[in-house]
Structure 1
Amino acid sequence: MITLENKREGNVREEQTENICRKPDVPYEELRYVHFPKPTSYSRRECSCTPVRFFVIVSMQRSGSGWVETLLNSHPNISSNGEIFNRVDRRENVSSILQTLDKLYDLDWFSSAAKNECTAAFGLKWMLNQGILENHDDIVRYLNKKGVSVLFLFRRNTLRRLISVLANDYDREAKQLNGTHKSHVHSKEEAEILAKFKPELDTSTLITNIRNIEKTIKDCLDHFKSTRHMILYYEDIVHNSNALSQALEFLRVPMRRLMSRQVKIHTRTLPDLVKNWEEVSMKLNGTEYAHFLDGSDYVK
């Protein structure tokens, strides 16, 4: 579902309405989301009149955001620059957050994803534990003033996410792949090695943890409801290879086939992924989270 902000915060910026590059077929209500950046570190040359849409992917660790970002970055006109706020100095206060965002959206940001001159959609990936919720009022104001679209990506099956988090935490210490830790892999052989570990879930805190995660997601969606935004779920993308076409439409870029080299790690059924599965199953059966157990929300 795509939601467009109805309230206009101030007038459309003068440079947007007067810019000679503005295409006449851009709907008036979307002018605030169309930009013609002038980076200081390079010239956009022949693409200087290619309008740029700013975006941010908001997600949680182990929710498929790395995979989805690689899919989007396979598009020739999309540059998503990763978790730039994984560095503490960039999020230590509101000022540092907004300064970092300004540099990014000026297109003076270099990463392996940058397409520079002919970029038509430019953004980042922002995890909920990287300062976005603690400073949500200021960030929402910034996003609306700057004309940034928000793409939310979450998992419906919180149980599977918890399993992935625990397995990733284990590998961070164990470094199962030749003494290195990898959150994402590009071969079935590597995926099989990581998938051998079966985490044991603490059933005494399991339901509380699930509820806390779901509350965090709900609070996030409430905080950012005034932005132009779209909500995607990992399971829907796994089910339907064309699900991201909505995201391309949302970003107003041409339709393209998207590809990723990432290989999914946990492909087996839930009982094969958890060390104490019977205990977990007994804990969730009869609760509002019993549907997490049947695996019907996920297709290999």
Structure 2
Amino acid sequence: MRKYFSIVSMGRSGSTLLERLLASHPDITSLGEVISPYGKYGKNSSIPIRQFIEHEMFGERTGICGFKMPFDWMLTYPDVFGAFFDLKFKIIYLKRANKLDQFISMKLAQKTGVWESNANYKGARIVIKIEEIGKFFISANYADEVLRQMTSRFPKVEVTYEGLIAGDSHQDILNFLNASGHPLTTNTVRSRTMSRRDVIENFDDVAEAFSGTPHAWFFTAPE
């Protein structure tokens, strides 16, 4: 018998970290972006998503089974919601509270081609356009709210990337999944090793532009 879950998040929010943390638990099977144009389902999408999840995705494995479902692929494969409902999925809604860090991660990944959490950005730096990042702050917060509404009818726990890094939310997630207490570990590496100030070439100008706004703390939060 299986109990299902899915990690739902925006990109660059730490979903790979969470997926691999959960995969380290002996009672949990945690997979990546299986339902995506590049994943196993994208290459075999002639069958219904529910059938794929039940009979193809996990093989013979039982117990607590889940996978990542990024926001973009939820829009591409809307039938996944029906499968989630029919199979009584639990949702782990993951977000990154610091939208500046999320933006930096996206830009550095685009610049270096490092998208997986298995290498660092090798000292890459960026120049931020104030108008661009201002729009990103608005759109990212809007997307967070859309995801919250999209998953509102499912059993759900909300966690942040920052909480994962600190280890504060590990036990909450295990309790939510009804999994036994077990240390969660991962072999992922932090891709960005430099401070925000060192990464952003025009850091002072950008920080000044958002001084006194609700986004000001993004620039001063502990790293």
- TM-score relative to the length of structure 1: 0.67
- Counterpart of 1:184 in structure 2 is 117
- Gapped regions of structure 2 (runs ≥ 5): none
User: Greater relative contact order (Cα 8 A, min sep 6): structure 1 or 2?
Assistant: 2
- Counterpart of 2:142 in structure 1 is 215
CA contact (8 A) 1:236 1:243 kept: yes
The alpha-carbon distance between structure 1 residues 157 and 144, as it changes in their structure 2 partners (threshold 3 A), is same
1:142 to 51, 74, 83: 83
For 1:281 and 1:228, how far apart are their aligned partners in 2? 38
1:220-259 map, 5 Å: 220-239=147-166, 241-259=167-185
Aligned residues: 222
- Counterpart of 1:61 in structure 2 is 11
For 1:85 and 1:169, how far apart are their aligned partners in 2? 22
The alpha-carbon distance between structure 1 residues 97 and 282, as it changes in their structure 2 partners (threshold 3 A), is farther
**Structure with larger Rg:** 1
Pairwise CA distance, 1:268: 3.4
Pairwise CA distance, 1:267: 3.9
- Counterpart of 1:105 in structure 2 is 54
Pairwise CA distance, 1:145: 2.2
Q: Is residue 129 of structure 1 aligned with residue 72 of structure 2?
A: yes
Deviations 1:217-272 (A, max 9, x none): 10111121011111110111212x25211111111111111111111122433211
Letter in 2 for 1:75: H
For 2:8 and 2:171, how far apart are their aligned partners in 1? 18
Deviations 1:152-205 (A, max 9, x none): 111000110100111011112xxxxxxxx55222xxxx53xx240012212122
The alpha-carbon distance between structure 1 residues 231 and 98, as it changes in their structure 2 partners (threshold 3 A), is farther
Deviations 1:76-125 (A, max 9, x none): 11111210133269469xxx49823422233x325xxx7x44x3111110
Segment of structure 1 superposing worse, 262-271 or 73-82: 262-271
- TM-score relative to the length of structure 2: 0.89
CA contact (8 A) 2:29 2:64 kept: yes
Letter in 2 for 1:263: V
- Counterpart of 1:7 in structure 2 is none
The alpha-carbon distance between structure 1 residues 267 and 154, as it changes in their structure 2 partners (threshold 3 A), is same
For 2:87 and 2:142, how far apart are their aligned partners in 1? 28
Q: Percent identity at matched positions? A: 21
For 1:141 and 1:77, how far apart are their aligned partners in 2? 26
1:80 to 22, 26, 30: 30
- Counterpart of 1:164 in structure 2 is 105
1:273 to 199, 204, 207: 199
For 1:248 and 1:265, how far apart are their aligned partners in 2? 26
For 2:46 and 2:177, how far apart are their aligned partners in 1? 23
For 2:168 and 2:98, how far apart are their aligned partners in 1? 21
CA contact (8 A) 1:104 1:123 kept: no
Letter in 1 for 2:7: I
- Gapped regions of structure 1 (runs ≥ 5): 1-35, 37-51, 173-180
Structure 1 vs Structure 2 CA RMSD: 2.5
1:23-102 map, 5 Å: 36=1, 52-87=2-37, 90=41, 96=45, 99-102=48-51
